[in-house]
Amino acid sequence: MENKKNASEDHQWLYSPSLESTSHIEIKDKYELFINNEWIAPTSNKYFDTINPADEKVLSKIAWANAQDVDKAVKAARKAYDEVWSKISAGDRSKYIFRLARMMQEKARELAVIETLDAGKPIRESRDIDVPLACNHFFYYAGWADKLDYAFPNQKTESLGVVGQIIPWNFPLMMAAWKIAPALAAGNTVVLKPAETTSLTALKLAEIIKEAGIPPGVINIITGHGDTGEALVKHPDINKIAFTGSTQVGKAIQKALVGTGKRSTLELGGKSANIIFDDAPIDQAVEGIVNGIFFNQGHVCCAGSRLYVQENIAEKLVEKLKHRMKSLILGNPLDKNTDIGAINSREQLQTIEKYIQIGIQEGSEIFQCEGALPANGFYCKPTIFTNVSQSSVLSQEEIFGPVLTIQTFRTIDEVIQKANNSPYGLAAGVWTDKGSKIFNLTSKLKAGVVWANTYNKFDPASPFGGYKESGFGREGGMHGLGAYLKIIK
């Protein structure tokens, strides 16, 4: 039979733009600090721009809190803790959290669009993953608020007091939910600091908090840069710091906390291994690799950024991966068909590009899809490197972008050793059709989460957190609740 190698013009089928509407959202020109359910101008009188990384246009101006503002917020939280939140019944706490969850759900569409505008992530992800998961986190912990005695049977627990929470820019609303929901359920009050590039959904959440009638001071949201976070960490009347972000900042926080008696949980960086055995369902594994490294442009602490492939299937798998990458659509994050959106900031794009250069200099083989990047905005093509060694910089350092390193292995022992040979230990993926192999690896991989035949799956009921320099403490599930309680008996 004669085969037609080249598609004629009329065979090409390109998807027309399918943009999510922005007509239904409301973004104010300027946002103040949210303290005591009021919008308070910063004493610094300073504001900074938050931009859309997809087109570099300014979305709004955000208040920049200094130490004095942080103090106001902590005082509000302390007062609310002493006078209201620790006094009301657990059942009432539960009702408030449920109300928040429901109201977030009602505004899901607006939250998703704003998240996409401010963070650059595809609307498909903010709509189908970020926002629903954020709501579910509130729903889940609302259920625990009046059942703490069942969560920790035969023990008596007590809330910690005022909690300072600092969150990253990769999952802005979802991280706010991960932090706020268990803290409130356990009976604490909160001062939350969003990341400077992605404050908007936290501020929308503040509007919902006010509308929901959460007692003033229970949740305070202060915006700013690193110095704002530092002031929060150093504030003497904070009982606990919960931080998600880079290992570098995590180390600084830990140093600052030494001897203060403040508790802490840190969820830090990662360089997670995704391991493909020769008996794996190969096409589904390819999908898992794509989800593992290209989900949210690779801005995922648990991204499966180190791929280990058994040598006898490596060639075939890499071919299939390249083929799959060709069908990824990069572009306007508001387009419902976009798979790869914008990189969160210019700084992050520069970091990623630096690592890509390192990879090329190290002699690894690069593959990127063809096609032009949008003229404005911060974009990076999905990138894979083959012929990478364990000792390459590229396979050791966290890139936090859509860059995958691929190494081969021969035996199980070898891959366990290599996977664990990292200062990080946040997550891992194992792909094999053989159950016994999965159990063998889950007990030997030093990673907080091990996914089998899937990757990047999250659920509020499932604890998440790292080994080694990926941090300590767990978020999600009963473990996440325990992190906001002290056992007193």
Partner 1 sequence: MLESNKHSIFQTINAASPIDKVGVEERVARFQTRSIKDDAKAQGLKMVLSMIDLTTLEGKDTPGKVKQMCFKAHHLHDLHPNLPQVAAVCVYPSMVAIAKQALEGTSVKIASVATAFPSGQSNLEIKLADVKLAVDSGADEIDMVISRGKFLSGEYNFVFDEIAMIKEACGVARLKVILETGELCTLDNVRKASDIAMYAGADFIKTSTGKIQPAATMQVTYTMLLAIKDYFEATGKMIGMKPAGGISTSKLALHNLVMVNEILGPNWLHNEWFRFGASSLANDVLMQILKLESGSYQSPNYFTLD
Residues annotated as catalytic are 267, 301
CB of 289 to partner 1, least distance (A): 12
How far is Cα 274 from Cα 302, in angstroms, rounded to an integer? 10
* Cβ pair 232, 191 in contact under 8 A: yes
- Binding partner 1 (rule: CB under 8 A), the pick from 283, 347, 365, 413 is 283
Asked if 139 contacts 101 with a C-beta cutoff of 8 angstroms, the reply is: yes
Q: Find out whether 127 and 78 touch, Cβ atoms under 8 Å.
A: no
Residue by residue, DSSP assigns 175-215 as HHHHHHHHHHHTT-EEEEE--TT--HHHHHHHHHHHHTTPP
Residue 216 found at the interface with partner 1 (CB under 8 A): no
Decide: is 150 part of the binding site for partner 1 (CB under 8 A): no
**Amino acid letter at 32?**
E
Asked if residue 251 binds partner 1 (CB under 8 A), the reply is no
Inter-residue contact 393 to 305 (CB < 8 Å): no
Residue 87 and residue 215: Cα distance in Å, rounded?
Answer: 12
The reply to whether 270 sits near partner 1 by the rule CB under 8 A is no
One-letter amino acid identity for 241? I
Nearer to partner 1, 5 or 489 (CB): 5
Residue from 17, 363, 371, 374 touching partner 1 (CB under 8 A): that is 17
C-beta closer to partner 1: residue 75 or 381: 381
Size of the site for partner 1 (CB under 8 A): 32
Structure tokens at 372: 């032009």
Nearer of residues 269 and 292 to partner 1, judged by Cβ: 292
Q: Which of 186, 231, 280, 428 is in the footprint of partner 1 by CB under 8 A? A: 280
3-state secondary structure of 268: coil
105 touches partner 1 by CB under 8 A? no
Stretch that binds partner 1, among 260-268, 319-327, 349-357, 466-474 (CB under 8 A): 319-327
In angstroms, give the least distance from the CB of 179 to partner 1. Answer: 28
Does the footprint of partner 1 cover residue 62 (CB under 8 A)? no
15 binds partner 1 (CB under 8 A): yes
- Considering the rule CB under 8 A, would residue 292 count as an interface residue with partner 1? no
Judged by CB under 8 A, does residue 436 bind partner 1?
no
H helix count then E strand count, the chain: 16, 22
208-219: b (≥16 Cβ within 10 Å) or e: bbeebebbbbbb
| Least distance (Å) between residue 280 CB and partner 1 | 7
Q: Does 254 bind partner 1 (CB under 8 A)?
A: no
Q: Which is nearer to partner 1, 124 or 299 (CB)?
A: 124
User: Is residue 11 at the binding interface for partner 1, with CB under 8 A as the rule?
Assistant: yes
Q: Which of residues 447-476 bind partner 1 (CB under 8 A)?
A: 453-454
Q: Is the dihedral of CA 26, 80, 237, 301 positive or negative?
A: negative
Inter-residue contact 367 to 322 (CB < 8 Å): yes
User: Is 211 one of the binding residues for partner 1 (CB under 8 A)?
Assistant: no
CB 181 within 8 A of CB 146: no
Q: Which of 287, 353, 362, 414 binds partner 1 (CB under 8 A)?
A: 287
Q: Which residue's entry shows tokens 């180390």? A: 251
Of 252, 281, 420, 486, the one binding partner 1 by CB under 8 A: 281
Decide if residue 370 touches partner 1 (CB under 8 A): no
| Residue of 83, 237, 319, 413 that binds partner 1 (CB under 8 A) | 319
Rounded to a whole number of angstroms, the CA Rg of the chain reads 23
Q: Least distance to partner 1 from the beta carbon of 456, Å?
A: 11
Token digits of residue 463: 């604890």
Could you give the angle at the alpha carbon of 176 between the alpha carbons of 175 and 177, nearest 5°? Answer: 90
Strand spans (E) along 189-310: 189-193, 219-221, 240-244, 263-267, 273-276, 306-310
Place of tokens 């995590």: 250
Tokens of 36: 């005591």
Q: Does 4 bind partner 1 (CB under 8 A)?
A: yes
Question: Does 154 interact with partner 1 (rule: CB under 8 A)?
Answer: no
Interface with partner 1, residue 435, by CB under 8 A: no
Segment contacting partner 1 by CB under 8 A, of 13-21, 92-100, 236-244, 294-302: 13-21
Binding site residues, partner 1, CB under 8 A: 1, 3-7, 11-18, 124, 128, 279-284, 287-288, 319, 323, 327, 336-337, 433, 453-454
